[in-house]
Amino acid sequence: LCDFSDDCGDSTDEYNCEKYVDMCNFENNLEPICSWSHDEDADFKWSRIRGDQVNNLDWYDDFWQFYGPDRDHTLGTSKGHFLFLETSAPRKPNDTARVVSPVFNPTTSGDCQFRFWYHMYGYDVASLNVYTRTSVGGPLTLVWNQNGQRGDEWLRTKIVLKVQQPFQVLIEGVRGAGYEGDIGVDDTSFTPGCQLLPTATLPPVIDVTVTSPYCNATFSHCLQNTRQCLPVEQFCNFNIECTDQTDELSCPSTCTFEQKSLCSWKNDRKQTLSWDFG
């Protein structure tokens, strides 16, 4: 329901969508990316573009090869708009672009779902990731991931969001090894179980390496128990050493591989063997 797809055949599943939160088809020129905003800490920005503005034709193996989306999902035409990850120069392998949602209330019931459509088609397509975060500049929690090309079609996904603090959702595109790695995102929406906090902002990340009069130059203190000092290298190492457990609280982007995801890592296609999950 209310996911920009006519599943009933008469469009009635797209009526009465007022309770669905922050629906965006990227067709409004006055609000090109709706309530999403660009993450200034990423390497570059997503573009809002039409299908007929994509330069996605290349001569490959003695024939013309298309890559990337040449149409949107909402209208299904080359005149429709969508978010676009442009992977041509000056972009470099593993460069990232991210958009950030408004702030949502904590949700643990499973009623809050994020839905969107994505297009990943091209020899060099890398990764599309969705994260949540509870602080600005803090760790990103991976909640969904897709790697590699998926064919010349728009695909739907839904993600159940369970976060115990006010949070934001981030959509991240990762540039692959070459320029044939364009990615499209369209028709984003949140179910009624997601509650917006339209004027709220998230707190900044807490610096876990603040010096303390109780610690020497190569040590830092725990956040709450400031008299407990640890070597700097013991912060954010996946082991809890602080008695208040704050040494693992605010870390950069990490990957535990627990969701059978490579996160932003990818196998080198030039090698004969690939890493797999154990």
Same domain, 140 and 87: yes
Distance CA 242, CA 90 (A): 43
Same domain, 175 and 227: no
Q: What is the span of the domain harbouring residue 221?
A: 206-257
pLDDT value of residue 57 = 47
- What is the number of residues in the chain? 278
Kindly state the DSSP code that residue 117 receives in the 8-state scheme: E
When pLDDT is averaged across residues 237-242 and rounded to a whole number, the result is: 79
When pLDDT is averaged across residues 92-103 and rounded to a whole number, the result is: 95
Domain assignment of residue 196, yes or no: no
| Listed range (44-53, 113-122, 250-259, 266-275) with the worst mean pLDDT | 250-259
**Among positive and negative, which fits the CA dihedral 30, 79, 42, 248?**
positive
When pLDDT is averaged across residues 21-50 and rounded to a whole number, the result is: 92
Give the tokens for residue 72.
């949107």
**pLDDT > 50? residue 63:** no
Cα separations (Å) of 253 from 89, 122, 139, 172, 256?
Answer: 26, 27, 5, 12, 10
Asked whether the whole model's pTM tops 0.85, one would answer no
Same domain, 102 and 150: yes
pLDDT value of residue 87 = 86
Q: What is the CATH number of the domain that holds 212?
A: 4.10.400.10
Domain assignment of residue 60, yes or no: yes
Domain assignment of residue 240, yes or no: yes
**How many domains does the chain divide into?**
2
Same domain, 65 and 162: yes
Same domain, 42 and 109: yes
Taking a C-beta distance cutoff of 8 angstroms, is the pair 83, 186 a contact?
yes
Domain assignment of residue 48, yes or no: yes
Taking a C-beta distance cutoff of 8 angstroms, is the pair 177, 269 a contact?
yes
Same domain, 101 and 26: yes
Same domain, 156 and 74: yes
